[in-house]
A and B are shown apart, each in its own frame.
Chain A
Amino acid sequence: MKTLRYSPEHLTSNRRLFWIAAALGIIMMAPVAWIIGLSFKDNAELLRGTEAVFSLPYTLVNYTNILKSSSVFGWFMNSMIVAVGQTFGVLLLSSLAGYAFARLEFPFRKTLFIIVLFGLAVPEQAVIIARHQMFNWFDLHNTHIGLILPNLSSAFGVFLMTQFFRAIPKEIDEAAMLDNASTFRIFWKVLLPLTLPAQATLGIFTFLQAWNDYWWPLISATKADMYTLTIGIASSQTNFAQSEGLGFLGAQAVFASLPVVIVYIFFQRHIVTAVSGGAVK
């Protein structure tokens, strides 16, 4: 006999899963809550013991200090420039390449696409020395361009956009051709707007990846005024933890996470779609 969806056994099993998920959620969120708590406490109080986080009073002084004196705001701007620049660059290049691979006929198209796919299998560590040397020759270290350029050619982005363009029925292009639209106009006015879901997915991932990137900025940005947030915060943990205190560090971390949190809040539907491989609509 078929088990009823809402049988007592089913509900018990659901309840058990709920408590397991809740416990895992609490374990994951505890450090985040801890950092947020620290960020609202006075540094002097925290020096006496971090259990002070559970008691009043709370203060905004760490946040006002960030805006007044620390380098965090500069690092934040660097991260923003790099993440936004990289996101727009990746979207533009991946869309153009994806359209070309999906729709245009040109010599060695299949071979070139396979070469692009190989890019997915090459780890960043394998090319980092060569890349470092190249950027050194062109004197691009410690520049925003130097931080943005290396990740503009996204194999994942090209692959994603190619697949998305391929999924659009060719009759749409053909209707536009019969409507006397040029190739560029077909791309720009007809097909590109249809790839918006893929653009959102790729944009979110690129932004988050660029925002959280640590490896390349660590190598390329050696001057403190060119640090991105990830590098800046890491350096303050060794330099300032004793002098400026845990509360200030907590506030820096919360400040650094804000854009990511905002991106998650506004685009969570697209993120769920992206990680579930388009199974959720």
Chain B
Amino acid sequence: MSASISIKNITKRYDSVTVLDNINLHIQDGEFVVFLGPSGCGKSTLLRMIAGLESITEGSIEIGDKRIDTLPPGQRGIAMVFQSYALYPHMTTRQNMAFGLENVKVARDEIDRRVNDAAKILEIDHLLDRKPGRLSGGQRQRVAIGRAIVKEPKAFLFDEPLSNLDAALRGRTRLELAQLHQRLGSTMIFVTHDQVEAMTLADRIVIMHKQKIEQIGTPMEIYQYPVSRFVAEFVGSPPMSMLPINNIENTENGVTVEVSGAGKVTTSITLPTDFSAKDAVLGIRAEDTTLVSTQEKGLDLTIKVIERLGDRTLLYGTLADGTELIAEDSGRSKTKAGDVVRVSVSPHAVHIFDANGLAYHSHMEV
């Protein structure tokens, strides 16, 4: 029953303030798409516009072949799970799940069948006669998902549904959502500012920034080939280190950049002939660094803070001129704060960003 969603030239303005600017997006039937971005980027507004809870200023939205932006929310064939779950507090779990079906006059037998089936899938069949006040956060979340499932919608919308759960439950629910998507095969749109949720759940991630779509891609495309400095810094934990570039020299296999406080770094990136080194930066992810002996070539890093994560150790340090760089070592690292280590960087894994934040990557395998 699921369908594709087409968002065409959507703009949203409140008086003179533009909240979304000319958004175009096509979501495939059965695809799991995550809107990811910082607070205020417009991702929730876009979701609410698809749901019909916000009007659109310009553009149109289609589900399948049908234009839906002119229809009231209840007639769009979508279901939404809210951050606060928005369960009806005076109704039992069963009544919460059945309410939407009663409104469209579905037969009682059919309502019971759908509610019982959904409750079984979500393992909440023993909670059907409880009111939300007597449910835990995780159980409420399941009921909210159950309320969406029984409607058999063309698309599911999730507005940061995991943010009210504790870390352990969030991880488990994330996995269950992924399984639910596989089982139902429905089109799902999920809004979050949590990149782990985005990376683990999405078929494709839509990165939003300053009222626009910054990048659309699979999680690995977004991570390995960010189109801009914003995406590179926003996605990934710890964030990508940015080292100011003083000079660029073309070489046979790419460019060698002279990095402030660290000397020369060889890369396999090819830059356009008119590329300017002014305000350009070299981006390095912590996992693309390796600690090497002082005899080898590399950047000398003075360690300031060490973060031990068990399987790996993050080394937060500074280069000779004070530029910050985060490097990674194994979980058994003996490095201490105050040590000076030499760090080597893979020439294929670095990124260069020009003064406008536009990214250039090496397209050789790392």
Contact = CB atoms under 8 A, between A and B. Distances in A.
B103 A180 contact: yes
Contact of A172 (B74, B75, B86, B147): B86
A145 interface: no
B74 A181 contact: yes
Interface majority SS (helix, strand, loop, mixed), chain B: loop
Contacts of B87: 175
Given A181-B74, A181-B99, A175 B88 contact: yes
Interface string B70-98: 00111100111011101111100000000
Closest CB pairs A-B (n = 10): A180-B74, A179-B100, A171-B86, A175-B86, A180-B103, A193-B90, A177-B73, A171-B82, A178-B73, A181-B103
Given A169-B86, A171-B84, A176 B72 contact: no
A175 B103 contact: no
Given A179-B74, A181-B74, A174 B103 contact: no
B305 to A, nearest CB: 38
Interface residues of B, number: 24
A190 B102 CA distance: 13
7 contacts: A171-B82, A171-B83, A174-B73, A179-B74, A179-B151, A180-B75, A181-B99
Contacts of B72: 177
Contacts, number: 59
Given A180-B75, A185-B103, A174 B53 contact: yes
Contacts of A241: none
Interface in A167-213: 169, 171-172, 174-181, 185, 189-190, 193-194, 196
A61 B52 CA distance: 70
A177 B89 contact: no
B100 A194 contact: no
B51 interface: yes
A189 B74 CA distance: 16
A231 to B, nearest CB: 41
Contacts of B52: 177-178
B104 interface: yes
Contacts of A180: 73-75, 100, 103-104
